Amino acid sequence: MFLELDELGPRYLQLARALKQAILDGRCAATTRLPATRVLARELALSRNTVLAAYEQLAAEGFIEGRVGSGCYVAAFAATKVVRATAQPSRTPRTRKAALARRGRRALELFDQSIHGRQHRGLRYNLQYGLPMTNPQLASAWRRELNHAAAHAEMDYPDPQGLIALRHQVCDYLARRRGIVAAPEDVLIVSGTQQAFALAADVLLDEGDRVLLEDPHYRGARQVFQTQGAHVFGCRVDGDGLVTAALPRGKATRLAVVTPSHQFPTGAVLSLPRRMHLLDWAQRSGCWLIEDDYDGEFRYDARPLAALKSLDRADCVIYIGTFSKVLFPSLRLGYMVLPPGLRQAFVAAKWLTDRGCPAIEQAALARLIASGAFERHLRQAAKNLKTRRAALLTALKRHAGDAVEVADSSAGMHILAWLPRMSHAQSQRMVERARSRGLGLYLVAPYCLKPLPRPGLLLGYADLPPADLQAAMRVFGECLREVER
């Protein structure tokens, strides 16, 4: 009998797998007597004990019958129709398209687009938005806290709402830095903003429900709500953020996602009158507002503005914060501050989804914040980002002049650079040309529902020191001139 062992794991399991395969594909027919263990051991140059152990395994799983050591037979089930059918080589290739549910199909469609940016790894200068800023002091503080948390970890399932120590720290932080008064029971720890959107979709949306997004907006939000089957529509933004005068009247809007501290991606800060108008609109129309406060912490011309949630007297704001920007995105931790009427449903949805975020990382993060290392990092990060932003803007002006218009913003980790003299086709060529020269540039178009009148680029600067930003802008200017010519 020809048996090929696959070299994975213990020898007796390799042999058991090979024999199982021979039985399933009919080479070892039902009721056939298997070779004596001594004979097979000699044939395959294995010890007899290995063969005995393999036979015992097959007997335990029901593939063979009889007494191991004194005559074993392939079990009668191997003659059944089902086994013969599985033994036939499949006519359909293994890569055939699986029949997916509607949500699966939508997720797959969107996934192709969202991984697009990842192909740009390995560039000399990558201005991809969302890359974190590295800070060696933070890295060593994090290692220390992680070690401590691992050594003292509880092994039971965590509280699905989040570790109480971390929820306390989040509340202190929100009161100190974002003007939000919340109690630990209002907070739900999630694995990043993305999960917060997904939970909101699960808890609040039925197929066809209307969801308002700023236009342009963060793609991650749109992808979740579209996958859920919501009717997603846009509302204009200008230099003061969301144009609240254009908010819809009449048809009920179930949910609106806003970025008041730093509109994504234009960078506008929502003015106070518009904040009040938005809250009033939400209250009167029964719409939930999701405040995505992804980088409100980083403001360079003034102190960070208090969050919209701090003005919410009618409990219509679902606040989302993330550690992706203020620490690093691979951490996958964020939090929600929930209105009392939604709290239980969100905790239940989180519990159903994953039983809670990993406890060790939560404990380490709580300690990192309590130790003061987190705020030290925030101060350092804000200082570095401000320098990088200034270096980028100066170099952009120098190498691109008035071929580029920067959307006014002095916050965050990216700028939006409009290309008023270019067509969309030219901007695409510019991205390709830059890429061939080791510079990663990213268009703003995928962040919009309505086509833009002019092309623009999102320039993320957190990841590059000033000298690299200057060098990157030199290449930028050269590519720009080549395309314009």
Ligand X SMILES: Cc1ncc(COP(=O)(O)O)c(C=O)c1O
Binding of ligand X by 57 (CB under 6 A): no
Nearest-approach distance from CB 194 to ligand X, in angstroms: 4
- Print the binding letters for residues 185-214 with ligand X: x by CB under 6 A, - otherwise: -------xxx--------------------
**Residue placing its CB nearer to ligand X in the complex, 46 or 230:** 230
- CA 456 – CA 447 distance, rounded (Å): 11
| Minimum distance, C-beta of residue 187 to ligand X, in the bound complex (Å) | 15
Taking the least distance from each CB to ligand X, the nearer of 12 and 288 is 288
Residues 395-454 that bind ligand X (CB under 6 A): none
Among 12, 281, 294, 374, binds ligand X (CB under 6 A): 294
Q: How far is the CB of 245 from ligand X (least distance, A)?
A: 23
Q: Should residue 281 be labelled a site residue for ligand X when binding is judged by CB under 6 A?
A: no
Residues 228-267 that bind ligand X (CB under 6 A): 259, 264
Closer to ligand X by Cβ: residue 17 or 388: 388
Q: Shortest approach of ligand X to residue 17 CB, angstroms? A: 41
Which residues 304-333 are close enough to bind ligand X by CB under 6 A?
322, 324, 329
**Judged by CB, which is closer to ligand X: 50, or 194?**
194
Binding residues among 113-132 for ligand X as defined by CB under 6 A: 130
CB of 325 to ligand X, least distance (A): 7
Per CB under 6 A, 292 contacts ligand X: yes
Shortest spacing between CB 174 and ligand X, in angstroms: 16
The distance of closest approach from Cβ of residue 217 to ligand X in the complex, given in angstroms and rounded to an integer, is 8
Q: Which is nearer to ligand X, 17 or 414 (CB)?
A: 414
Q: Write down the least CB distance from residue 257 to ligand X, Å.
A: 9
Among 334, 455, 456, 477, binds ligand X (CB under 6 A): 334
260 vs 477 by CB, closer to ligand X: 260
Beta carbon nearer to ligand X, 18 or 385: 385
Interface ranges with ligand X (CB under 6 A): 130, 192-194, 218, 220, 259, 264, 292, 294, 322, 324, 329, 334
